[in-house]
Amino acid sequence: MALDDPSTLVSTEWLAAHMRDPDLRIIDASWYMPAENRDPKAEYDKAHIPGARFFDIDEISDARSALPHMAPSAEKFMSRMRAMGVGDGHQVVVYDAEGVFSAPRVWWLFRLMGQGSVAVLDGGMKKWIAEGRAIEDLPPVIRDRHMMVRFQNQMVKDATQVAAAAKLGTPQIVDARSPARFAGSEPEPREGLRAGRIPGSRNVFFKNLLNDDGTMKEPAALKAAFETAGVDLDKPVITSCGSGITACILSLALERIGKSDHAVYDGSWTEWGSVSSMPIETGDV
């Protein structure tokens, strides 16, 4: 697979070459862990890639859920995208300030809503700025655009479905958290959560899928990372993490290696670790 694939991942060079395309829409999906005390919207207002719209991951979510940034309803997603001037026929490129961190979450949301022409910017804002490319602080010019949503139920799993998978051993559950959190030897960053993992799950730390400059590794290296972790790529996969953000990095990587039968456990460890009746495992695998 070529690096530049407008349905998964594109380079800064690709974006620079397509900046003036009339149907290109750029989205800043920067997001940080609460403990970092950073305001992604304020940072966007100060500097963003020209023409970029800001996607608030915490706001464009299911407000009825007590869990953080759960996937919004199709109706809410459509209305928010229309307000952002993003709709049918647009090629969307999503980036974040870290490189490849929160942008895959928004890539996955677009895919969940049946939108296929969406890619993550490889290396994100960090690489864009390092290369001396243009940034601005101007708000984008918004023109209404209708979006038709076709919700893809198979791309998202709930706790009941994940519990069944853990019991039956299929689909495979792959956890993007750090090895120490996966083993339960390091406390969770969110208060009130047990330490450990979903029984039978595999661990592919999301950082192992990235290069030092924040770009995503080549497909062969991505494939090797999953196989080394004991993931059978011939079987379907459910990705998980702390709260459904970095699980989407795993989903993007799976898509990059040509695997389409994967879904995200949206509640992830924030849900599983808070429910005392859910079984957990600890210790090294």
Q: Which of 121, 162, 241, 247 is catalytic?
A: 241
Rounded CA-CA distance 64/181 in Å is 28
DSSP run (H or E) holding 13? helix 12-18
Q: Which residues pair with 28 in a beta bridge?
A: 54, 95
Rounded CA-CA distance 133/128 in Å is 6
- Per-position pLDDT tens, the chain of length 285: 458 999 999 999 999 999 999 999 999 999 998 889 999 999 999 999 999 999 999 999 999 999 999 999 999 999 999 999 999 999 999 999 999 999 999 999 999 999 999 999 999 999 999 999 999 999 999 988 899 999 999 999 999 999 999 999 999 999 999 999 999 999 898 888 999 999 999 999 999 999 999 999 999 999 999 999 999 999 999 999 999 999 999 999 999 999 999 999 999 999 999 999 999 999 987
Please state the separation of Cα 134 from the chain's center in Å. Answer: 25
Go through the domains of the chain in sequence order and give each one's CATH number: 9-151 (3.40.250.10), 154-272 (3.40.250.10)
Is 248 among the catalytic positions? no
Please report the pLDDT score of residue 190 as a whole number.
Answer: 87
Please report the pLDDT score of residue 192 as a whole number.
Answer: 86
The two structure tokens encoding residue 99: 């490189």
Please report the pLDDT score of residue 216 as a whole number.
Answer: 98
Per DSSP, 150 falls in state -
Single-letter code of the amino acid located at 83: A
Is the model's pTM score more than 0.95?
yes
